[in-house]
Structures are given as C-alpha cells and as structure tokens.
Amino acid sequence: MKKEVFAVLKKRFELLMEEKEYLYLRNKAGELNRSIGELIREAVREKYLYPDQQKREIALQKIQSGDYALPTPVEWHEIEDELNI
C-alpha cells in the first residue's frame, strides 16, 4: 500500500495562460483524478527542482527493460592492437 504524504502549502500565486492550455490541463486533471494545481506542482518539480531524478529513472527503466545493450567490455591489448601502439 502506497503511503500518501501531504505537504502544507504556504504560497499562492496567480498564473495566466491561454484558453487552450487551461482546457488541456483541466481535461488531463480530470482523467487523472487530480487537481490542476497538482499537475503544475509536479511539472515544476520534474522540470526545475529535480530534473536529474527523472533522467535517472528513465535510464533505469531502459536498463531494466532489456532493450538497452550495455557496451561489451574490451581488453586493453585489443585497443593497443587497433591503434598499433
């Protein structure tokens, strides 16, 4: 069972956006059974506060999927032979 953590939100601001953007967010929030504010806060966290975390999660998913091949180890003497050292 996933434990939910609720933060106390203390700051409020007004955001102006185009009608098309607002309608998209409203529809998406309804599909996900979440608020528009939750979607915006999540986007801010993913884009600006913790962007590296998202990159790590994507990389881990690729590796776990089996579709991503790790490079084959190469022996140093093989590199020397290729470079004629």
Q: How confident is the model at residue 2 (pLDDT cuts 50, 70, 90)?
A: low
Residue 3: predicted pLDDT: 57
CA distance 66 to 50: 26
The answer to whether 35 and 29 are in contact (CB under 8 A) is: yes
Residue 27: predicted pLDDT: 98
26 in helix, strand or coil?
helix
Condensed to tens digits (0 to 9), the pLDDT of residues 16-49 reads 999 999 999 999 999 999 999 999 999 998 888 8
- The model scores a pTM over 0.85: no
CA distance 6 to 35: 14
